[in-house]
Structure 1
Amino acid sequence: MNKKITILLIDDHPVVRTGYRRLLESNPGMLVIGEADNGESGYQMWQQFTPDVTILDLNMLGICGFETMRRILSYDAMARVLIFSMLNDVTMVYRAIKAGATGFISKQSGIGEMIHAVQQVSLGKTYIESDLATTLAMHATRTENHETLLDVLTNREFQIFKLVAEGYSNTAIAKKISISPKTVSVHQLNLMRKLDLQNTTQLIRMAINYNIIQK
């Protein structure tokens, strides 16, 4: 009997987890061995179960998906993480793969694509959803520009950069990602300095230029 691919789902939406658990387990070769609704408990559960594939959302309360992935990969550099996110622009894909993700698919993808992605990632192969892979290739000439923005910011700074660009106040950001408003302000000052930005208008313009937010 062939061994099933064991899967850990980390996503803060219970309906999403329930739906995809059922769909994944409709494949006889897959078994969801755990679910977590935040990065902290997801990392603890990963240590407990060491699944073949971790399906991870990027945008969660508390520690973000990038930090969760960093902790997992720090524990085991060979861990296989499949990013499953609404944040499906080329910047996010590039950043996720660069940070060590084995694959990236959007929440708009069909179940067939997710099952295929899990199968490929479980074998250690990098898998990017077909439409996103095409977009990434089309933007290949912009790689140096992406690196200029992506590499200079920490994962937390990048998370706050995006939330500020989306119009969240420091108080709202603090509540959303479970840190103090003062810490948000420090991160915002640091990222503004790193990116040589003078005000929020410039930050928003940069976010639009890099497809981090839409106009």
Structure 2
Amino acid sequence: MEQIKILLVDDHKLIRDSWAFILNSDPRFNVIEATGDGDEAIEIAKEKDPDVILMDVHMTPVNGFDATKAIRAEVPRAKIIGVSMHSMPAYAKRLIQLGAMGYVTKNSSKEEMIHAILEVHAGKKYVCEEVKSILAEHEIQEQEANTNINLLSRREIDVAKLIKEGLPSKEIAQKLDITLKTVEVHRYNILKKLNLRNTASLVNFINAQGL
């Protein structure tokens, strides 16, 4: 069986050395080069044509996003797996939009990293369990939010929109021709129905829902 040629890109030498040792101890893999520089990674990829690249997302001056974009343009055959300290789904989505095939965090186990390499090398996309769990949680919260917003009355939605605009309760009362006490009751009911804690979380919710 032909070995999978791997390029390691991480600006921490200890991490590069550790992964090189782990992967080279497995007969399926051959770490052909390791670097902590994004620009150098682009040149190595063009010269050595790796099968899989483990790409640290956060490097300077050339970060993993820019390096991924450049390598995909120059060496489209190479399969790139983003590696990050952060489990933010937005990072995974952005990197995959730039052409990466996978995303794992530095909390991922050795077994998961190896599984990711094998999956990506086989032409499949792979996102680590940690990020998938967060994505699933976000999806559930979004579904709940869409359900909860239907609980608001027309007047409560009007009040919520004016809160988003930054109006204090007194001005909202004047604008909607209702009493200050009624506005405060609406504010309380809106937060309660949407399971939100404060005005800041309400503004974020309104923006997310596009009200």
Instruction: With the length of structure 2 as denominator, give the TM-score of the two structures.
Output: 0.64
Gaps of 5+ in 2: 143-203
Contact 1:85/1:105 (<8 A) preserved: yes
What does 1:28-39 correspond to in 2, within 5 Å?
28-39=27-38
**Runs of 4+ displaced beyond 2 Å:** 76-79, 137-142
CA distance in 2, matches of 1:96, 1:60: 14
CA distance in 2, matches of 1:76, 1:138: 35
Shift in Å, 1:85: 1.0
Contact 2:49/2:75 (<8 A) preserved: no
> Higher relative contact order by CA 8 Å / sep ≥ 6: 1 or 2?
1
The residue that corresponds to 1:11 in the other structure is 10
CA distance in 2, matches of 1:49, 1:140: 41
Q: Match of 1:101, as an amino acid? A: A
CA distance in 1, matches of 2:49, 2:77: 11
What does 1:1-215 correspond to in 2, within 5 Å?
2-140=1-139
Range with bigger deviation, 47-56 or 89-98: 89-98
Shift in Å, 1:94: 1.6
CA distance in 1, matches of 2:64, 2:123: 20
CA distance in 1, matches of 2:127, 2:50: 20
Contact 1:90/1:135 (<8 A) preserved: yes
CA distance in 1, matches of 2:64, 2:45: 13
Is the partner of 1:139 in helix, strand or coil?
Answer: helix
Q: Match of 2:73, as an amino acid? A: S
| RMSD between superposed Cα atoms in Å | 2.3
CA distance in 1, matches of 2:128, 2:101: 12
Contact 1:84/1:104 (<8 A) preserved: yes
CA distance in 1, matches of 2:84, 2:6: 16
Gaps of 5+ in 1: 143-205, 211-215
Instruction: With the length of structure 1 as denominator, give the TM-score of the two structures.
Output: 0.63
Contact 1:102/1:126 (<8 A) preserved: yes
CA distance in 2, matches of 1:106, 1:14: 17
Contact 1:58/1:87 (<8 A) preserved: no
Q: Which structure: larger Rg?
A: 2
Shift in Å, 1:87: 2.3
